Structure 1
């Protein structure tokens, strides 16, 4: 019996020149696919336009004004500088030593974790003037703080401690002791431009009580007054003092969500027969984090632009599966991981190239509108596009949009359907943002740490200081992670999805 031999299949040979049949040629082929499908460049253009327009509309709907005058610290930061101060002038070098006891709430409420009582050297009694202070707090131990934004922890804890603050020229050094004999240096700081005569003394302050209520209907914060009391045993001042004795002053400055200096209950100082000074007062000495974030307000359109990037990234691969063209692609290039790499690079490049000018334009136009609506110095910095918070937010927002498209591309490879891939990425990136506005704050913070929505932290322009107790509300533009840390969560999701997509491509048919 004669059998007809089966003809052998001729392996695929690329007609391209060898230098173009490799990865550069594959990149060109994927770029050609992108630009020749008219819908994809159109989606990209619409995404950029929507990002700019929505950001402009969001800025137009925000306004600031009618509040009290702000206090500005030595470095230009808006600060709270309101406290009860029992002080004397100190000329030249010297030191102040005292034992702080009995730190407690004076109004019967729970004491605030960052209530403080201690020793201070201040350039003058003007709110916002440079200072250095060593203090004890109820839950954060002994601290040395200076010029509002700087904070260093001591070695000890508790509310009873001997404290010492020394001056040598423009250098201030804080010390702590458990027994008044053995002293431990906390840190030394330099306050440039200190005059020869400064004010040195005892102080108390406490932030206002806050009660937070959150529900799907909205968020409310209730602020109540608060005052704190502490006793200072045997304050000993060494050095030249031109004053006849101690003077008590309520250093005045606007307190966020608190009474004005004129309406606030005045502080008081009582001196016992043994020389113990008992101070009662309110207010705070810290950065003011109650204002808005005009940098984050400039990128409200990015949230909507994400939806277009999700669709673009998913369709760039799922449309080939739907029409069966992916088989042709894999026949022309048998290395499927190289195909995935080429698609990823093309999507990354085109989305970032379009997103970067869109976010830059969004910031520039939105900042102009916000300044018109009251977000002006001194309460808010006049940021240019090249200032660090603005530049980071502009570039980071463009990277966010690009990474979302890459994540959608990888999920599209895994699911092979447009609807499924788009829905999955929207649930991962967009839904956590919406839920975070209504969930209890701890749950909202965990959600914004563990999901790709953490990447929106890159838009934060306000510095949140650890020595300030505040409710970090997502709806106010505050995120629990640092800006670059949040963006790295999205990058990790995109990278993991790409690895799974490459593994899946190698293990199943097209």
Structure 2
């Protein structure tokens, strides 16, 4: 008799694996819920298509129906979007050699024209941007986006060695403005940057390895100066660098040649005139505007990304998952089947865990599948319209896909917990929409500071998974939500949503054990 009574006891108290199997069977046997999953994917893709198809302005590539903006942003050696606008005075260098120069002064001017009036060198005031740059630059070609290495002085960040737009190293010395000596040395594909306070004792700043450099490159002096911002208002600037003691060693040929790289008004970067270069008695004066750095959205307001057209689709898909997650638990309460479930699995926490795992897995798959389909659909429609799509690597796109899956999964699990607490489908759905959807709708209409905090503290923070525009410490820019930058990185936004989900699950577990079925 002992053995006989022991076996049924084990059947009435199955493990988590059995509970998971039972909950999965419950879900897949309800045809309406399976249809709902298909609707979630279709809605996400359809809304992505409609949003992308409705965009006909902003940054354009000159094709399709896009009606305003600049041509496409240059692409750097690693496929990243870059700003590459500067005044360059250069000559060829065949093989190895060095370039040395003393930067005597670096001054600047800032546009005073209103933002709705084209900038003009005649409407300016004195002022030097912190990231204004003047120095020596080596590049295989004077085309925007080319590989390069440079040693330079800045308006507010000292002397630096930079290469290929994203690499930066600060110098140790802080020499006086009249004692800034700079040197670049080439040895094959290796470029080394040096600094000196007197032109005699040199200190190495950094080394760059520019793979695939041709035998003959261009070397010389350059000046550039980026947009400066006061709040959200950006004003183009211009810098002037004065050089002397310019020497080039190695096999050189041809005269000095002045280039305005990326300085056309039709190019990507907003500039304050094309600038120019002149030389007198061994002294060189260059004036230029623009930037050599990672591209952010300045100059490309309205730029689209792999995530920008997914927002409405992600919200719509989340709403469908909210409904399904609520019904997944409240239907059993409404029909009285929850008693049977608890009889089969007396450990109520195990039932809640099994339901959470099942609905979370379903939510992740639906969100990720919808993103996998919607991302290329949105990009294809945007490019077909002539719109510029900010470049994104495989890892970035993969992060958006996984992020969308995690958003829908965590939202579904949290609403399941709400349904467990409220026991009413309508109440759980309403609460889920209020807590997990309404913050975005409200936040979009709030002023800047309030909007930022809402996207930090509410589940809307998780929408940061769609934010793929790059940030850079080399670019002074208001990285605000209005400009396409979420206040939290994707992982932090997901942690905020995960925190809400954990609290909801904890409360549901507590009430589940204290209340009657």
TM range (shorter): 0.7 to 0.9
- Which of 314, 330, 341 is matched with 2:353 structurally? 341
Check the 8 A contact 1:118/1:203 in 2, yes or no.
Answer: yes
1:56 deviates by 1.5
SS in 2 for 1:148: coil
Check the 8 A contact 1:296/1:477 in 2, yes or no.
Answer: no
> Measured at CA, do residues 357 and 41 of structure 1 come closer, stay the same or move farther in structure 2, by a change above 3 Å?
same
- Which of 378, 381, 403 is matched with 1:369 structurally? 381
TM alignment of 1:31-46, pairs within 5 A: 31-37=24-30, 39-46=32-39
- Which of 288, 292, 310 is matched with 1:299 structurally? 310
TM alignment of 1:451-490, pairs within 5 A: 451-474=458-481, 477-490=484-497
1:105 deviates by 2.5
> Measured at CA, do residues 270 and 503 of structure 1 come closer, stay the same or move farther in structure 2, by a change above 3 Å?
farther
**CA displacement 1:416-455 (0-9 Å, x = unmatched):** 5555554554444334433544445455444434433232
Structure 1 stretch displaced more, 22-31 or 465-474: 465-474
C-alpha distance in structure 2 between counterparts of 1:408 and 1:158, whole Å: 61
C-alpha distance in structure 2 between counterparts of 1:329 and 1:389, whole Å: 42
> Measured at CA, do residues 345 and 121 of structure 1 come closer, stay the same or move farther in structure 2, by a change above 3 Å?
same
1:268 deviates by 3.4
Q: Aligned residue for 2:85? A: 82
Aligned length: 480
- 1:121 paired with 2:138, answer yes
**CA displacement 1:268-290 (0-9 Å, x = unmatched):** 346577x5544321122233334
C-alpha distance in structure 1 between counterparts of 2:218 and 2:335, whole Å: 79
TM alignment of 1:258-277, pairs within 5 A: 258=270, 265-269=273-277, 277=284
- 1:360 paired with 2:375, answer no
> TM-score under structure 1 normalisation?
0.80
C-alpha distance in structure 1 between counterparts of 2:458 and 2:251, whole Å: 59
1:341 deviates by 0.8
C-alpha distance in structure 2 between counterparts of 1:141 and 1:426, whole Å: 51
Check the 8 A contact 2:14/2:344 in 1, yes or no.
Answer: no
C-alpha distance in structure 2 between counterparts of 1:426 and 1:418, whole Å: 12
C-alpha distance in structure 1 between counterparts of 2:104 and 2:503, whole Å: 54
C-alpha distance in structure 1 between counterparts of 2:339 and 2:12, whole Å: 23
TM alignment of 1:248-267, pairs within 5 A: 248-253=258-263, 254-256=266-268, 258=270, 265-267=273-275
Check the 8 A contact 1:137/1:158 in 2, yes or no.
Answer: no
Check the 8 A contact 2:99/2:185 in 1, yes or no.
Answer: yes
C-alpha distance in structure 1 between counterparts of 2:380 and 2:71, whole Å: 22
**CA displacement 1:268-326 (0-9 Å, x = unmatched):** 346577x5544321122233334523411442311221222223323433454566654
1:227 deviates by 0.7
- 1:404 paired with 2:414, answer no
Structure 1 stretch displaced more, 98-107 or 57-66: 98-107
1:343 deviates by 0.9
> Measured at CA, do residues 460 and 266 of structure 1 come closer, stay the same or move farther in structure 2, by a change above 3 Å?
closer
Check the 8 A contact 2:83/2:269 in 1, yes or no.
Answer: no
C-alpha distance in structure 1 between counterparts of 2:466 and 2:260, whole Å: 38
> Measured at CA, do residues 393 and 159 of structure 1 come closer, stay the same or move farther in structure 2, by a change above 3 Å?
farther
Q: Aligned residue for 1:187? A: 206
Q: Aligned residue for 2:99? A: 96
- Which of 18, 21, 28 is matched with 2:14 structurally? 21
1:335 deviates by 1.8
SS in 2 for 1:135: strand
TM alignment of 1:200-349, pairs within 5 A: 200-210=219-229, 223-232=234-243, 234-243=245-254, 246-253=256-263, 254-256=266-268, 258=270, 265-269=273-277, 277-290=284-297, 291=300, 292-300=303-311, 301-321=313-333, 326-349=338-361
> TM-score under structure 2 normalisation?
0.79
Two-structure CA RMSD over aligned residues (Å) = 3.7
C-alpha distance in structure 2 between counterparts of 1:28 and 1:195, whole Å: 63
**CA displacement 1:166-199 (0-9 Å, x = unmatched):** 2111111123445656544332111223233322
C-alpha distance in structure 1 between counterparts of 2:278 and 2:445, whole Å: 47
SS in 2 for 1:479: coil
> Measured at CA, do residues 125 and 350 of structure 1 come closer, stay the same or move farther in structure 2, by a change above 3 Å?
closer
C-alpha distance in structure 2 between counterparts of 1:321 and 1:113, whole Å: 64
1:19 deviates by 9.6
Give ranges in structure 1 of 5+ residues lacking alignment. Answer: 1-11, 214-221
> Measured at CA, do residues 255 and 314 of structure 1 come closer, stay the same or move farther in structure 2, by a change above 3 Å?
same
> Measured at CA, do residues 102 and 362 of structure 1 come closer, stay the same or move farther in structure 2, by a change above 3 Å?
same
C-alpha distance in structure 2 between counterparts of 1:442 and 1:233, whole Å: 48
- 1:105 paired with 2:105, answer no
**CA displacement 1:394-419 (0-9 Å, x = unmatched):** 23312321121112223444555555
- 1:165 paired with 2:184, answer yes
Check the 8 A contact 2:269/2:290 in 1, yes or no.
Answer: no
1:42 deviates by 4.2
Check the 8 A contact 2:23/2:355 in 1, yes or no.
Answer: yes
> Measured at CA, do residues 232 and 432 of structure 1 come closer, stay the same or move farther in structure 2, by a change above 3 Å?
farther
> Measured at CA, do residues 503 and 74 of structure 1 come closer, stay the same or move farther in structure 2, by a change above 3 Å?
same
C-alpha distance in structure 2 between counterparts of 1:174 and 1:371, whole Å: 40
Structure 1 stretch displaced more, 331-340 or 407-416: 407-416
> Measured at CA, do residues 13 and 303 of structure 1 come closer, stay the same or move farther in structure 2, by a change above 3 Å?
farther
